[in-house]
Structure 1
Amino acid sequence: MSRISGRVELAGVVGQPIGHSLSPAIHNGWLEAAGIDGTYAAFGPKDAVGFEALLAAGRAGLITGVNVTAPFKEQAFAACDQVSDAAQLVRSANILVFKDGAIHGDSSDGRGVLNALTEQASALSLDGAKVVLLGAGGASRAAAGALVEAGAKVSILNRTRERAQVLADDMGGRVDVADTEADTYDADLVINALSVPPTYNLSQLKAGAVVMDMTYRPLITPFLQAARDRDLTIVDGLAMLIGQAVPSFEAFFGQSPPSLDIRRTVMDLLGEKA
C-alpha cells in the first residue's frame, strides 16, 4: 500500500453523484505503485454550499487539489483565483490545485482526448486533420479547444445548430458548425461527445477514418462497434479517462504516474474483458 503519514497529500474527485467514479481506483493505483505518501478520495457535497465548504478546506491547506465533475464545474471555474490558458479557452476547470490560500484552475479534459488518440490511434496526425465533434456540451467544448491547439480543423455537429454556433463563437471562430451530417463524411476523426448514443451514419464515413466515443460504459459502445465492423480505428472513452488523469496526478503529487497497467485494473472494475 502507499505510505500514509502525518504528511500525507490528500487529493480527490468531487461531484454529485460520485460513487460511480473510477478516478480513485486510477490515482490510488498509481500512488501505491509509486510509494507516494498520498491518497485520493471521492467527495460528494450535496449542494453548492457543500462545495464551497470543500473549497474553503482547500484554501486552508487541508486538501492538495481536486478534480471536479458535474454539477460543480461552472462553480469551480468561477471560484478560481488563476486559471490556465486551457481552462480560460473552454471556460471550465476540472482540476483545482490549492496553494497558499489560492485556487489554481486547469482543464485536462482536452488533454485526455489527445492522450487517448496518441495511445489508440497513433497513426492519425491531427495537424490539418478534419475532425467532427458530435454534440455541443461541455465535453465537446473541452475537446474542441485541445484539438484546435493541435492544428485540427474542427466542426461541430449538433441537433440544435444554434447551440453549436454559441460554442463556435466562444472559440473565437476557430471551429465551424456543420450544417448537415452529410457534410462531415470526409472527416478524418469523428468523436461522440454526447451523453446519449448518437444516430450518426458511420457507413458513409470514409475508409481509414478514426472513431472515438467519450463514453466507457460499456467500453465498446454500439457506436464503436459499428465503426469496428467497418474496420475503422476506434478509440474508447476509458483511454480518455486515464489520459485526463495523468495531468491531474502530476498537478496534485508533483510527478508523473508510474509505469503501471492501470487500464487493466479499471477494466476489471468495469467487468470488461481485455
Structure 2
Amino acid sequence: MSVERIPLAGVIGSPIAHSKSPLLHGHWLKTLGIKGHYIPMDVAPEDLENVLRTLPRMGFVGVNITVPHKEAAMRIADQVTDRATLIGAVNTLIFREDGKIHADNTDGYGFIENLRQNAPDWNPAAGPAAVLGAGGAARAVVASLLDAGVPEILISNRTRARAEALKQDFGTRVSVVEWVQAGNMLEQAATVVNTTSLGMLGKPELRVPLDGLQKGALVTDLVYNPLQTRLLREAEDMGCVTVDGLGMLIHQAVPGFERWFGQRPVVDAATRAVLLR
C-alpha cells in the first residue's frame, strides 16, 4: 500500500523571521484545501548546499530563496532557466523526482503581473521607463520591462558602476543616468520604478526630485513597508497612476506554489488582506 506524502515547501534566508511568504502560502494551502506545509528556514551560507541536497529526501518539493542566498543557490542548482541566468539570481527552486534541483527567478513575472492587475490600462510601449536602483531586483525588473515591450530604459543608481554593469548585460535599450540627475530622467518616462530600499521603514527617504513626473505616467515602488511610500503619495498627487509593491510579492509566489502543490492560487483582495494584517 502506498502512503501519500504530504508535500513540504518553504523559504530559506538569513534572517528569515520577517518573511511574509509563510503567511501567503499558508493562506493558499488553506483556501485550496491542500494538505501541505510551508516553513521558514534560517540557513547560514556555509550550510546552504548541504540543506538543499537534503530537503528533497525529507519530503520537500521545493523552496523559495531569499537574501543572502539568491546567487549562491543559482550556482548549486542543476538546471537554471534562461531568465534566472540573465538576472543572475534565483528565488524559486523545484526539487524534481530525479533528484535534480531546477532554479528559476519569478521576480520579473511578479512585477509585471502586479502592474497588469492593478493598472490594467498600462501600456509598456507608451514611452521610456525610468528605473531607480541597479541591484538584483532592478535586474529582474529591467528584464521583464524589455520583454513586455518598453522601448528604452533609463537607469540610475547611487553607485554608477552597478548601473553600467546592468547596461552591459541588457544592451542598447538601456542608458545610464548619473544619480544626481535622476530627477531629470522622469521628465520623459511613461513608467517609473523604484527598486531601491530608499523610502522603506527604517531606511533613508528617496530624495530624488519628483517635479518632472508626467501626469498619467505609471509609478510603482517595490517597497511595501510602508505600503504608501512618499514616492507613491507624491506621484498620486501629481496625477500619476500608482501601484504599490505588495502585489509583486504575491504574484512572484504564484508559479512556485503551482509547481509544488499542483494548483494555481488566486491573487485577490483576501490574499492582500492576509499580508496586511
TM-score higher than 0.5: yes
Task: State the alpha-carbon separation in 2 of the partners of residues 222 and 241 from structure 1.
Answer: 20
Give how far 1:160 is off: 2.5
**Could you say which residue in structure 1 is the equivalent of 2:169?**
170
Q: Is the alpha carbon distance of 1:234 and 1:259 closer, same or farther for their aligned partners in structure 2, counting shifts above 3 Å? A: closer
Q: 1:183 to 1:265 in 2, by over 3 A?
A: closer
Distance in 2 separating the partners of 1:81 and 1:172: 28
2:65 aligned with 1:56: no
Q: Deviations over 1:240-271 (max 9, x none)?
A: 11111111211221221046520011111xxx
Cα deviation code 1:194-252 (max 9, x no counterpart): 01232222221111111111011111112211112223211111011111111121122
C-alpha distance in structure 2 between counterparts of 1:137 and 1:113, whole Å:
15
- 1:195 equivalent to 2:189? Answer no
Distance 1:137 1:218, change over 3 A: same
Partner of 1:186: 188
- Percent of pairs with identical residues: 41
Query: Structure 1: how far apart are the matches of 2:164 and 2:267?
Result: 42
Which residue is 2:253 aligned to?
245
AA partner of residue 155 (structure 2): I
Verify the 8 A CA contact 2:94 2:256 in the aligned structure 1.
no
Structure 2: gaps of 5 or more residues: 200-205
**CA separation of 1:78/1:172 partners in 2, compared to 1, >3 Å: closer, same or farther?**
farther
Give the gaps of 5 or more residues in structure 1.
269-274
Q: What are the Cα deviations for residues 74-103 of structure 1, in whole angstroms up to 9, with x where unaligned?
A: 111111111112101111110011112111
2:42 alignment counterpart: 44
**Amino acid across the alignment from 1:138:** G
Q: TM-score, normalised by structure 1?
A: 0.91
Whether the 8 Å contact between 1:7 and 1:37 is mirrored in structure 2 is no
Q: Secondary structure at the match of 1:204?
A: coil
Per-residue deviation, 1:174 = 4.1
Distance in structure 2 (CA, Å) of the matches to 1:226 and 1:217: 16
TM-score, normalising length: structure 2: 0.90
State whether structure 2 residue 94 is matched by structure 1 residue 119.
Answer: no
Q: How far, CA to CA, are the matches of 1:110 and 1:210 in structure 2?
A: 17
* Paired positions, count: 263
List 4+ stretches of structure 1 deviating above 6 A: none
Q: How many Å separate the matches in 2 of 1:37 and 1:167?
A: 42
**Aligned-residue CA RMSD (Å):** 1.7
Amino acid at match of 2:249: L
Q: Secondary structure at the match of 2:109?
A: helix
* Counterpart amino acid of residue 146 in structure 1: S
Residue 203 of structure 2 corresponds to none
